[in-house]
Amino acid sequence: MSEFEPICEKCEERLQPFLDRELSEAERLEAETHLAECDYCGKRYRFEISLRRYVRSCCSEEMSSELKAKLANLRLAE
């Protein structure tokens, strides 16, 4: 990777709709063609994917067994 990597914003606007599969077929193909040859955008796309995964794992908190038992009791109390 070069120290003077040129800044590229070509795919920035399409990042979220691309990952969310909201682009039209033509737009998607265009983005894919660009991503195949642009390391700058490619890195940022891969970063976004790992960020989403990371947010999900950091923000997933399991419920306590006490709460689970309380919920089951709500059912029996009826």
What distance in Å separates the CA atoms of residue 28 and residue 45, rounded to the nearest whole number? Answer: 14
50 lines the binding site for other proteins (CB under 8 A) = yes
Which one among 4, 6, 58, 65 touches other proteins, defined by CB under 8 A?
Answer: 58
55 lines the binding site for other proteins (CB under 8 A) = yes
Complex with other proteins: residue 26 or 56, whichever CB lies closer: 56
Number of CB atoms found within 10 A of residue 39's CB:
13
Size of the site for other proteins (CB under 8 A): 35
* Chain residues in the site for other proteins (CB under 8 A): 1, 9, 12-13, 15-17, 20, 22, 43-44, 46-48, 50-52, 54-56, 58-64, 67-68, 70-72, 74-75, 78
